[in-house]
Structure 1
C-alpha cells in the first residue's frame, strides 16, 4: 500500500520551538509525565509505544525505584498548552501532569544522547503544510498533529460557564484546588472543599499572579494549569512512606530530595539528593526518659541544630527547632515502648513553603515500630567518634576558647578583651550565655555577666600587697581551648613587676603559656590571685622567647572591678598550699570562656 508520510522537523507531530524576536529565552525544563512504573522492562515498552505515537518521548529513573515516561522538553507555557490538547484528544492519560527536569535521574530511553538537551518543543500547527514524499510503508500514518502553541488559543470559559463546570467537581477535587492555592501562598483558610469568600479571593489572587482576569472563579483551563504546577512541585519532592525496619520507624520522607546512606547509632542518615540541601535523620535508640534527656542535651551541641529557635521538653518527649542564615531544622523525639524514637528535618533557609508541607506530612505519618531500634554497634558510628563528630555529625565548635575566673558569688567573670572580640555570642563552659558589661582596652580586660545567675563553687580572692620578685606562681587555664574538661596549672616565676617598657600595671612572668590560658588567673602559692594572664604577643617586630608571658597585676584588676560596680574580695591567707590544694582552688575558680560566631 502506498501512503504519504508527513515529514516534520523533529518528530511525528512536534516541531522545534524557534526563538521569537524580543522574547527572553527560557530554559526548556518542563516535561509532561505520562506514566510511572516499578519495572524497567515495562517502562521501556511503554516508552517505545508512546514514542511511536507522540515522538519526543523519553524515559528516566526517579527516586524510590520508579521509572517514568515523559514527553518533552518544553518551555513552561508550551507544556501547559500541549498538556491540555493531548488530554482533550485522549492521546495521554487524564492524570498526566507537568514536572521539572531536575526530578529526573538516569535516562533509560532512548539510548544515547541526553533527551534533556533537546531543543524546546511546541505543539505543531493544526493544518501544517507538509513536505510530501512517496514511499512504501506498511504501517498506518500517525495521528494528526496538534495545533501550534504559537496560534491563539480558543476562547476560555465565561465566568458563568466556569461556575457551571466548577459545580461538577467532587469534594476531593475541590479540596485539592484549595491545597494548591494554599501551596502557592494565596489561601490561608481550612481545607474544607467549600469555595467561600476566602477561597474566591485566593482564586482571584492566583489569577492576577498568572496574568488572568481576576474573576475569582477558575475556568476549566485555569484549574488544570494550577493543578499541573502544584502536582509538578509535589512530584519533585517525591514524598514516600518509608518503613525502616532497622531503625524501627515508619514515616513519610521527601525521597525526591534525600536518599538513605548509612546507620550511625542513634541515627539513620538520609543526606541530600542531587544538591537539594535537604537532609533527614531518623532517631532510634533503646532507652527511657533519662536517655531522652541525654539526647536532648547532645542534639543541641550539633551544627545541624542552630542555636536560635524554640526548645521544649516535657515528660516523655522533646522538640528542638533552630534557624540561621543557612538552614532551618526541626527535631522531635519521644519515648515509646522502651526506646527513644524521633526525626530531624534539615532544610535550606528561605524555603518555608515546601519545608512546612513536608514537615506536616512527616509529623502526621511518624510511627514508631515496636520492638525495633538501632543497636549501639551497628554501622560505622563507633569508628567515626572524635572530638568534633558524634555519630557522623559535626559538633558545633566555638571560634576560640580562652580562660576566665569568677570574681563574685553570682558568677561574674573576668577575662581578656581578646577573648570576646568579634564574637556573636559568648558562653561559659559552652553552656551559659554571658554579656560583656565592662571593658578596659588599655589593660585588655573584660567583665562578663551571666544572663542567668550562677552559683560557682568559689571566686577569686586578690593579693593586693606587692609580691616578691622571683616568687613562684601558677597560671590556671584551658590550655587546649576546651578539649580537656578541666583547667591545667602551669608553674613559673614572677620575673618583674613591670612590663618591658616600664608599664606599672603589668607583671612579667617566666612561664610558658598556651593561647587558651589567656584570661586565666595567676595564683601565688597561697591560692590568692596575683594577676590575670594576657595573650601572647610580639614586642614590635621582635618575637619574644617562649617562656616570656605578661599579666595584669591584681591592684589594676581590683580597680577595674570597683569601677564596674564590683567588690573584689581580698586574700587573707599567706601560707603556702600543697599542689593538690592549689589545683582544687583553681578548678573552682577558673572557667572556660568560648567565642561563637552566632
Structure 2
C-alpha cells in the first residue's frame, strides 16, 4: 500500500512540474503509418472539428492532433470530445515538441502561437493530500458531465461521406446487408437502393431518416456489424517457422505445438475452435498427396465441397459437431495454407472469422522443417498430431458373386451415414432380414473379388472342423484373421432352428464373416454376440445358416454358387480362399 502511495505521489509531482513547464497542449487523436492515410483522416476530422493539424512523428508515422490550446482548456475539450464519441477514447494530451513538420492543413506551414497560453499554478500540497485522501480532492478537477452529442448536419455528413474510398463504401453496404436493410450489389455506389437502406437503418436505430449516414452513424453501424467478433481477439499472427502471416482468432485459440506439416493452435475456451497452419516443402505431387491425406482426418468431415486445382486445393466439411475449411496453395516449391475448425451452429461468426483469415493470408520465405514433431507418443490413429477418421463400427463380410455383392451382419450396417468396403469402396444396403440377421451390400462401383463364396449343399457333420474368416481387430491388420473351431449343433441353445452353434472363440470384428468347412465351402455367416443379458462362455458362437443366406440373396435377385464338395484343404489353401472372399465392412457417421 505504501509503495503505491509513493508511486502516486511521484506521478502527481511529475505531472505538476510538467504543467508548469508546458504552456501549450495539443490533443493527440490518432497516428497513421502512411502520409496518404493520415491526410485522409485529417480531412475527415476537419469536416466536423476545428483546429485540426497533421504532423510528422518520425519513423514513417504521422499524427492527427487538435490545438494548440491552453492545457486546462485542452483537458476539458478532450473530456468533452471523448464523451461525445468524436475522438477515440485513447486520445491524450501531447506537447508541441512531440511533433515535427506540419503537413495539414495543406500549405499552412508551422504552427504560430499568437497568444500567451500560461499553465495555471498547481497546488502541490493539495495534490499530495488528494493521493492520501481522495475526499480532499478539488471538486473543480472532477470530470465535467458529458455534453449533449452534436452530430453532423446532412450537408456535413455528405461531405465526410465523399471522402470515403471505395473499400469503405463497400464495407458500409456489406454492413447494411448484414443488418437486413440492403439486398443489392456490393459496388460502393450509393444509389437509390443504398440511400433507402440507410434511411431504414437510421429510423430503426432512433436517428433522423435522411438517407445519409453521419460519421457517428457510420461508426455505430460498423460497431453493430463487428459486434459478432467481440471476444474473438482477431489479430495478425506472423508464424516465423512456418512462414505464414494472417489474422487469427487469438481470443479463442492458442499455440499448441509443431507437428509437420502443421502448426497447431488448439482451443483456449469452451467454444472449441481450432486453427492449423500448413507449411511444407514440396511439388504438385506433394500437394495432391496432402489433398488426399487431409480427407482421411476427423477434422475434415465427409460432407462438403472439394476442389483440387493445379496449384492448390480447397476442402470443406460439415457434420453435426463441426464445420471445417481448409485451403492450401503451391508457390515456389512450398505448400502454405490453413484449416479453420469451428463448432457447428455458429455460422455467422465462423464465416466472418474465415473471411478475415482469407483476406489477410500472406506468406514469407521460411518453410516448416519436415522434421518438426512434438514429443507426444506416436499412435496408429494419429497423423501429424491429428486424429485419423475412424468408423463408428466395423465388421466383416464376404463376396457372393463376381459383381462384388457382399453378405454381412444386418446389425453392423444399421443407421450408417456411409458404408465402405475395405475402407475405400462405398456400398449400399440392397436387402436386410432382421429375423436372420443377414444384410446384403452392393458396391457403388463394380468390384472384382479374388474369390467368392460357394455355399455347401446338404447337412454338415457335427463336431466337424470349421473356420471363421474376419477382421477381428477392426482393420488394424491389413488381412483377415482365421479362427478355428468345431460345429457343435445345428440349432441354438434354446432349440432355435435358424442358427448353428459353434465352439469357437470369435471377436466382435469377426461378425458377418464366412463360416467355412475344411474344404472351403461356406456353411453360414457368423452372428454378433448378444449384448447384455446372460453372458455365455467366450468359445460359444452362433452362425446364420447357409440356406437362410441363399434365401435372402434370392429375394434380392442374386444367384449364389453352391457346392457338394466335402474335401479337405491344406490350412494355407483354406486361408487363401477365405482371405480372397472376406472384406472389411465399415459403418461411418
TM-score normalised to the size of structure 2? 0.71
User: Structure 1 CA distance, aligned partners of 2:202 and 2:547?
Assistant: 75
Count of aligned pairs between the two proteins:
475
Contact 1:86 1:92 in 2 (8 A): no
Contact 1:337 1:371 in 2 (8 A): no
Instruction: Find the partner of 2:345 among 342, 350, 373.
Output: 350
Q: Alignment partner of 2:255: what SS?
A: coil
Deviation at 1:321, TM superposition (A): 0.6
User: Structure 2 CA distance, aligned partners of 1:476 and 1:214?
Assistant: 78
The answer to whether 1:414 aligns with 2:407 is yes
User: Structure 1 CA distance, aligned partners of 2:399 and 2:298?
Assistant: 29
Instruction: Find the partner of 2:575 among 563, 583, 586.
Output: 583
CA displacement 1:448-483 (0-9 Å, x = unmatched)? 222333333332221123222222111011112222
Instruction: Find the partner of 2:256 among 255, 261, 274.
Output: 261
**Could you say which residue in structure 2 is the equivalent of 1:423?**
416
Contact 1:243 1:251 in 2 (8 A): yes
Contact 1:336 1:368 in 2 (8 A): no
The answer to whether 1:433 aligns with 2:431 is no
Q: Alignment partner of 1:87: what SS?
A: coil
User: Structure 2 CA distance, aligned partners of 1:593 and 1:208?
Assistant: 61
Contact 2:381 2:388 in 1 (8 A): yes
User: Structure 1 CA distance, aligned partners of 2:244 and 2:90?
Assistant: 38
Deviation at 1:488, TM superposition (A): 0.5
**Could you say which residue in structure 2 is the equivalent of 1:556?**
548
**Could you say which residue in structure 2 is the equivalent of 1:68?**
none
**Could you say which residue in structure 1 is the equivalent of 2:7?**
none
User: Structure 2 CA distance, aligned partners of 1:134 and 1:406?
Assistant: 88
Deviation at 1:299, TM superposition (A): 1.8
User: Structure 2 CA distance, aligned partners of 1:185 and 1:84?
Assistant: 30
User: Structure 2 CA distance, aligned partners of 1:405 and 1:176?
Assistant: 60
Deviation at 1:307, TM superposition (A): 1.5
Question: Tell me, which stretches of 5 or more residues in structure 1 are unaligned?
Answer: 1-33, 37-80, 95-132, 148-152
Deviation at 1:182, TM superposition (A): 4.5
**Could you say which residue in structure 1 is the equivalent of 2:141?**
141
**Could you say which residue in structure 2 is the equivalent of 1:87?**
85
CA displacement 1:270-305 (0-9 Å, x = unmatched)? 123333432210122333334333322322222211
The answer to whether 1:338 aligns with 2:336 is no
The answer to whether 1:401 aligns with 2:394 is yes
**Could you say which residue in structure 2 is the equivalent of 1:113?**
none
**Could you say which residue in structure 1 is the equivalent of 2:72?**
none
Deviation at 1:185, TM superposition (A): 5.3
User: Structure 2 CA distance, aligned partners of 1:90 and 1:406?
Assistant: 73
User: Structure 1 CA distance, aligned partners of 2:341 and 2:489?
Assistant: 56
**Could you say which residue in structure 1 is the equivalent of 2:277?**
282
**Could you say which residue in structure 2 is the equivalent of 1:229?**
224
Deviation at 1:146, TM superposition (A): 1.1
Higher helix share: 2
The answer to whether 1:300 aligns with 2:295 is yes
User: Structure 1 CA distance, aligned partners of 2:382 and 2:467?
Assistant: 34
User: Structure 2 CA distance, aligned partners of 1:134 and 1:236?
Assistant: 35
**Could you say which residue in structure 2 is the equivalent of 1:531?**
524
TM-score normalised to the size of structure 1? 0.70
**Could you say which residue in structure 2 is the equivalent of 1:454?**
447
User: Structure 2 CA distance, aligned partners of 1:510 and 1:443?
Assistant: 20
Q: Alignment partner of 1:567: what SS?
A: coil
Contact 1:385 1:391 in 2 (8 A): no
Q: Alignment partner of 1:261: what SS?
A: strand
Q: Structure 1 residues 207 and 283 mapped into 2: Cα distance closer, same or farther (>3 Å)? A: same
**Could you say which residue in structure 1 is the equivalent of 2:14?**
none
Q: Structure 1 residues 210 and 88 mapped into 2: Cα distance closer, same or farther (>3 Å)? A: closer
Contact 2:241 2:366 in 1 (8 A): no
**Could you say which residue in structure 1 is the equivalent of 2:62?**
none
User: Structure 1 CA distance, aligned partners of 2:512 and 2:229?
Assistant: 55
Q: Alignment partner of 1:298: what SS?
A: helix
Q: Alignment partner of 2:253: what SS?
A: coil
User: Structure 2 CA distance, aligned partners of 1:464 and 1:216?
Assistant: 87
User: Structure 2 CA distance, aligned partners of 1:90 and 1:544?
Assistant: 76
Q: Report 1:98-497 matches (<5 A).
A: 141-147=141-147, 163=158, 166-167=161-162, 169=164, 171=166, 173-184=168-179, 186-187=181-182, 191-207=186-202, 210=205, 216-230=211-225, 236-370=231-365, 372-376=367-371, 378-380=372-374, 383-497=376-490
Q: Structure 1 residues 242 and 527 mapped into 2: Cα distance closer, same or farther (>3 Å)? A: same
CA displacement 1:152-203 (0-9 Å, x = unmatched)? x679777677556644655564344234334545545555432123423442
Q: Alignment partner of 1:386: what SS?
A: coil
Question: Tell me, which stretches of 5 or more residues in structure 2 are unaligned?
Answer: 1-28, 32-78, 93-132
Decide which structure has the larger Cα Rg and report it. 2
User: Structure 1 CA distance, aligned partners of 2:507 and 2:313?
Assistant: 40
Contact 2:243 2:279 in 1 (8 A): yes
Contact 2:514 2:582 in 1 (8 A): yes
Contact 2:457 2:564 in 1 (8 A): no
Q: Alignment partner of 1:243: what SS?
A: strand
Q: Structure 1 residues 316 and 407 mapped into 2: Cα distance closer, same or farther (>3 Å)? A: farther
Q: Structure 1 residues 564 and 170 mapped into 2: Cα distance closer, same or farther (>3 Å)? A: closer
Q: Alignment partner of 2:479: what SS?
A: coil
Aligned Cα RMSD in Å?
Answer: 3.5
Deviation at 1:134, TM superposition (A): 13
Deviation at 1:567, TM superposition (A): 0.9
User: Structure 2 CA distance, aligned partners of 1:212 and 1:457?
Assistant: 77
User: Structure 1 CA distance, aligned partners of 2:320 and 2:134?
Assistant: 66
Q: Structure 1 residues 248 and 89 mapped into 2: Cα distance closer, same or farther (>3 Å)? A: closer
User: Structure 1 CA distance, aligned partners of 2:87 and 2:434?
Assistant: 80
Q: Structure 1 residues 580 and 84 mapped into 2: Cα distance closer, same or farther (>3 Å)? A: same
